[in-house]
Structure 1
């Protein structure tokens, strides 16, 4: 098996000089029962692996597949080797939340890439009620900062296999591999799909130029244009009769002249302002460079797939846990005392890393929900002329030509938080992040003056480089801002002698009215292994003023976890509130070296 087949570089549509490739994420439903969906998915996965030159994984032994199967204790994933450097992990179990919440099955495939690893994860989850959810994620993890990689991971061939196999759907719409041609009599069903509140995927609608035939435009333009959309959007082509019917029904959301329009979820046909929310790709732009136009058309569906909150069953799937090698314990027994201590530290950090990954997944869901609430709130503000438009249509809910009721977008008003900030409320009643928090580390560095008791002494280049690395949009920057906000409030109390302990204790007992930072993400210091390792300790000897240490360096073991994983960012700081009355932030960047990253 060749290492470039997962996915093939020849299928990478656009290239960038540096940086990680944007992952592919598909989230759909199927009407099949959980057991049938798992069996068909395994069948399709096995056939695809065989086609790619890998060994087909053996059937799982007595693996429960029904959502009503009694919950089993948490067990690590089974790891199989299907070829040279090809790892296959599979696990199953109850969803987080206790007995009766549903079950999940997951398969993860890791294959070698020219400068890293390709990872493909398939998850099937079914809650106590509702449909079976299917999620397919494809990522490329590169090593080395100067490697040329595709700017986005291509649509996996497995996605093209599973969509028809599972009869995938998105709300009321079937998710097809290729665009579907609609006639005038089918326009009413399309409008119902656009206005359906359960729709999660964008809907791409293409028009046909008046001087070209439908079949020619479909074959030469629309199909190549939609090649990157399977699993990310549903696509339709309006024939001449359907185009007229559609544009009369949706006067603020029209598409014609060979243009292609992307309709995001929650279409409000009565709002002129909402019409501006759904991007249009003009015919001229398409014909100039159809390959580049295909990349532009896929950009919004990719963004939505990354920011859209997961449905509850998928959000309740625990992070993957892989058992350590069976010989690790025997090797440890034969090792010297220092080797056993090193192994124990590795095990502790493995558990800590797994907890961080779960915390990071939960935080990403909070960020996605917050972004969704913000956008809904913004869309509630009427634009000039919308009041008249609403009067013409007889109110906010609008009936189109077909007489169907089209629901407008929902919304949630964000409460005012202490200090005049507005923010989404988390489970504990505290904001998950401030609405005015910076969306990038570049903006964050320019606003450090808003924290008068914090001094940044580190290298700004290391921090600014995070803008080109983060895969979760603005979440890293927002989480860092959360940590700085809590440190500032702690410092204000500490210089008055009212903090009642260190920053960790402050997070565990945050006073009312103050910003709460998760205690599990506030770490007092590094492990003994890191402190006793000369090179690793040197990395954490960070700049401070001479008034703090005459050497202008101090060990900053205390840090905040900005994310989970081996390379996720950390913020290292020195609490000198009892001395100079300030906190010195010496580092904001990727995880420094330790037993997990070395």
Structure 2
């Protein structure tokens, strides 16, 4: 049996809201769906109690938040809406609590939804609870850094949700060397019904307060977004490695995030499951550990929600509408007054009642307008996401076609060369296997660690900027392209030292036999004058003082690792093959720098 580990070191208070999420790009900035097995109608009381308590203590702004159904204006800019659905017998089977906060910088909307499964549903999906946070910026979204709502951690602790055959917890479940526990963890990783990532940390071989402190912070931030496990000691690490294999192992001190569809029997699958190395986890200056929670939350947000929640609808509050109708019919009919004072009092009472109903109607109309505006923005955001997904799909298809064409050209060339060798009687040369090339790196961290492979390339780029590219879903593709780009620059420098007279672009348009080429259309040897006038300072990077006494030089030339999306990484370099270093100096590997077309 796996036990919850809160003993990495004693816990300490955490802020009310996590701050590990990235800046706002889409309205839906966080979402998670929790499956609660064997739930009954007490679920709604638990969700309602935890949510209202969280709202009441949320920065001490709403101490009087009610738990009753209806639309409640907590202050001039905050609205709390609570709705329920009931079956034919009057029993509650769905609940939605929504807090909308209209702030100067943005409108924030947090929604907590709970629903019981209908009779006949699989018992493993007895109930589902979802928490979503939406952000609607009022202007430029830069600077907005929404975090996971703290209610998520409270609900995980209260409801004890599951994900497939695994549990979702606030603290990591400890895994010892016991074979049953190791096999249970591997079963969780390989479970086809798992919908959330699983974060597996391996304890360091010797006590490390920094590592423990970081794990205390990271694990609770992943709660509700990922399964959490801790390999308790070196024996557990070894047992896990023996069972899962070398490619999917977790080294002591490392933290690895296993995505859904884990397949330990297929070595190439290991590259999908990113890890933070022990060295980076234990480096006080390294911030890679912050990306663990961000990645888990991102994958949880992108995961499809359960069918239980997908089909759920909450109609307008018909009870409130009926109460207003009853109030109107209860207005006393005009009668002959006993005296003038009674008539005036009667008219005032009637007028006050009608004014109250009118104010309520005005508030509801305004709420409808606000909800409609937010719904329109949500629709626009979803359409934008769909367009980007289609564009990325086409882009991936184009990459695949180009790779296939390149492989076909290489195979054709190899077959022709073998044929010529046969014709010359060099049968042994034609059949001798060629040397295997260096495997492509699966991350920018791996690329950086292998940078000494390129003896004619001097890398002065900022390590953190380069490695931060690993946070992107396309990082593995970009890292492979960056490796080929550095090989091409290294190959060019070798040819330049051997007498090649042209520039790198010339080398790419007609690479020499045996040299590593690079597509000429993905090379830019200079920036536009307008870009350099406005953003030239961003293209100044470190160089040896033998190249420039200032220790810096402008690097306009760059290679394009991608051409779609906001990141579109670039490799900026300076050709010093004819200079003092006789090398290519790479001063930047990172996201596309600003230019005149940047939004």
TM range (shorter): 0.3 to 0.5
TM-score by length of 1: 0.47
> Higher helix proportion, which one?
2
TM-score by length of 2: 0.47
- Which structure: larger Rg? 2
